[in-house]
Copies of this chain bind each other. A is one copy, B any other.
Amino acid sequence: MGRDRDFTQLGKALGAPARSVFLNLLMDGARRPAGELARAAGVSASTASEHLAVLVEAGLVTVEVHGRSRRYGLAGSQVAAALEALGALTGPAPVSGYRRSRQMERLAAARFCYDHLAGRLGIALADAWAEQGWLADRAALALTDAGADGLRGIGVDVDGAIAARRPTTRVCLDWTERRDHLAGALGAAVGRRFLAAGWVVRHASGRGLDVTDAGRAFVRRTWGVDLNA
């Protein structure tokens, strides 16, 4: 009787196409009403409702009631981390020259992964910060004193991130690039700062991001990162 962790319920919850679409949509950390999710997945409202009930039952998703609308969202950063880890497994390794749709290409450039920056932007930042001694180790991404000062200097709530209940820094393996980037409470704080400062803007819907001209200039000026490369 050596079974100690039962993946059955989680697996069943993940194992339906419509639910997979829902989770992907919710990976940006936003809450969405049931109807929007139903439309996005191409199923009827009743079917979507049943799917959402399954996800809630499995603990992957939580609901907030807003009047006659119900907003569904991921149950927490741990869920997002698990989905990222799982996502890193699916599909073959991205061989160079693999053809991508324009949509995928935009996602690969910059996006939110639940609450922190990901895509090539996230990786470039982690690279630069490791290079310049703001993070101690490219593999582990530990925050140094210099890094704490530097991030405070650009308006990131470093102390809030350190005080948070979740781990301050955490590595997250990128889906598209297969490289690590910064997650955890600090990653979330950086993401909030980038949005607030207007260095990135959200796509109309979903977790895609566009780096603004101001953002592009800022990262080049501050860390010498050239995002057009």
Contact = CB atoms under 8 A, between A and B. Distances in A.
Interface in A87-105: 87-91, 103-104
B139 A1 contact: no
Interface residues of A, number: 60
A165 B136 CA distance: 19
Given A1-B103, A8-B14, A184 B90 contact: no
Contacts of A140: 136-137, 140-143, 167-171
A35 to B, nearest CB: 16
23 contacts: A2-B40, A6-B20, A7-B83, A8-B14, A8-B15, A10-B86, A11-B12, A11-B16, A14-B14, A14-B15, A78-B88, A85-B85, A136-B136, A136-B142, A137-B142, A137-B168, A137-B169, A139-B167, A139-B168, A139-B184, A140-B169, A140-B171, A167-B171
Interface of A: 1-17, 19-21, 23-25, 40, 59-60, 78-79, 81-83, 85-91, 103-104, 107, 136-137, 139-144, 167-171, 173, 175, 180, 184, 205-206
Given A7-B14, A86-B86, A167-B171, 13 more contacts: A2-B24, A2-B206, A7-B20, A8-B15, A13-B15, A15-B15, A81-B85, A82-B85, A136-B140, A139-B184, A140-B140, A140-B167, A142-B142
